[in-house]
Amino acid sequence: MTTFPVIVGSLPPRQIVLYEGGPYCVTDICAGIGMVQLGAVEFFDDRWIASSNNQKNPAVPADTLVELYP
């Protein structure tokens, strides 16, 4: 498992948790509410990922870009 701090939209800093073979989840490190399924995740480059289906967490819109911290 690899963990990266990320920014999801304008929400507080979060961590993207990458399990081998998925699923790809975001952990809210502020509220400590556990992992939130982002749905299908695509890597655009080393900095950005996107959620193409995010019905399990309506607070994060579908097609949200997730920016990895450098």
pLDDT in tens, 20-44: 444 444 444 333 333 334 444 444 4
* Domain residue spans of the chain: 2-68
The whole model's pTM is what?
Answer: 0.23
The distance of Cα 33 from the centroid of its chain, to the nearest Å, equals 14
Question: What is the C-alpha separation between 34 and 2, in angstroms, rounded?
Answer: 16
Question: What is the C-alpha separation between 53 and 64, in angstroms, rounded?
Answer: 9
Residue 3 pLDDT class (50, 70, 90 cuts):
low
DSSP 9: T
Any idea which residue has 């073979």 for tokens?
21
